[in-house]
Amino acid sequence: MTSRPAPSSAVTAFVVASRYMPVYLAVLLLVAVAAIWVPESLGGVALSAVAPFGALLGITALGQMLVVMTGGIDLSTPGTLTLAAMIMVGVGQQADNRIGLAVLTAVGAAAAIGLVNGVLIGGLKLNPLIVTLAVGQVVVGVLSRYVRTFPVQSAVPEGLSSWAGTRAFGVSLIFWFGIAITVLLAAALRYTAIGRRFQVVGANPVSSQVVGLRVTLNQILVYVVAAVFYAAAGVALAGLIRNPGVNIGSPYLLGPIAAVVIGGASLTGGLASPLSTVVAAFFLTGLNQMMRSLGLPTALQFVVFGLVIIGGMLVSGDRIIKVVERVLRERRRPDRTPQETTKPIDTS
């Protein structure tokens, strides 16, 4: 009896990488369609205008990705992001010397929201969908009361809006800010002990608990870190639009989740790629811009966006992995020998 050879590292790498292929194919398809129907959307001016918004969605999606890697989900994103943006108005008071204080306050408030989510979900083991939705509603209520303390349509400090409007190599600094965060997070997950332990805990919390890893602490802290990502996006968005309103966080409810799903993250926890997640965020931003350029009605835009999310679920990374593994398993199955295929003659 011969033992079946173990899969090579190249095969393993291919199986893992295959879960992230759909997002890059989707980008190529989007570029092809845009080149045919709205070629002006691929021009330098159009791309530089879309880049900061894609980066903002990418930053928010990275926070959501970390939560999904633990098998959870976070629906408090819009409230947290909006609160951070409005704090830049209320605490900033249009004074450049208060930008630092405003940023620290926004990050601190977001971290507190994440801590509440983390304790309820990781500590008390409550359902993440219900908890984050409820916490998000509480944040919206607090936000509605908070915005009454300063004039409507107040602006952020001029220094913040100047930073958001500054361009490097023809693109807003917000784009490069998003790229830097993506690179740092990818490096942390891949090359640091904390990042590798985080992925192990997300992939198999039961086994991680057995070997002594702090699963509960990990689940609590991930919501705090994710909320800080939302705050970073909220601060940058406030600088970009200068006069933020209480509804600026609405597009960031389903958008980050869609980017994580299309980016190939495992919805059961563990595996995810920051690069693929950010690419998916730019894909969704470009798709939205293309639909607007085509003049599609808002209702039809929502339909298309919803279909894209459903399509992302149908070709999610988990499904692709199962298909690839099944194909490889069939190819590795040894052929049956003549003795196995020939039926013995009955001599009785």
Residue at 2 is within a domain: no
Residue at 331 is within a domain: no
Q: Would you state the pLDDT for residue 152?
A: 76
Cα radius of gyration rounded to whole Å, the chain: 24
Q: Would you state the pLDDT for residue 341?
A: 47
- Domain count for the chain: 1
Q: Would you state the pLDDT for residue 348?
A: 45
Q: Would you state the pLDDT for residue 266?
A: 81
Q: Would you state the pLDDT for residue 267?
A: 80
Residue at 153 is within a domain: yes
| pTM, entire model | 0.88
Helices in the chain by DSSP H: which ranges?
9-18, 21-37, 44-68, 77-90, 99-118, 128-146, 158-165, 173-191, 193-203, 205-210, 215-241, 255-262, 274-293, 298-314, 317-332, 338-341
Instruction: Tell me which residue range forms the domain holding 88.
Output: 15-316
Residue at 340 is within a domain: no
Q: Would you state the pLDDT for residue 301?
A: 79
Residue at 299 is within a domain: yes
**Number of Cβ within a 10 Å radius of residue 263:** 30
Q: Would you state the pLDDT for residue 328?
A: 64
* Per-residue tens of pLDDT for the chain, all 348 residues: 444 555 556 655 555 566 788 889 899 999 999 999 989 888 888 899 999 999 999 999 999 999 999 999 999 999 999 999 999 999 999 999 999 999 999 999 999 999 999 999 999 999 999 999 999 999 999 999 999 988 878 899 999 999 999 999 999 999 999 999 999 999 999 999 999 989 988 888 888 888 888 889 999 999 999 999 999 999 999 999 999 989 999 989 989 999 998 998 888 887 899 999 999 999 999 999 888 888 888 888 788 878 887 877 776 656 665 666 576 667 666 655 445 445 555 544
Q: Would you state the pLDDT for residue 7?
A: 52
Look up the CATH number of the domain holding residue 68.
1.10.3470
**Number of Cβ within a 10 Å radius of residue 5:** 7
Q: Would you state the pLDDT for residue 321?
A: 59
Residue at 92 is within a domain: yes
**SS3 per residue for 273-290:** CHHHHHHHHHHHHHHHHH
Q: Would you state the pLDDT for residue 153?
A: 80
Residues in the chain: 348
List all residues 6 or more positions away from 221 whose beta carbon is below 8 Å from its beta carbon. Answer: 118
Residue at 215 is within a domain: yes
Residue at 47 is within a domain: yes
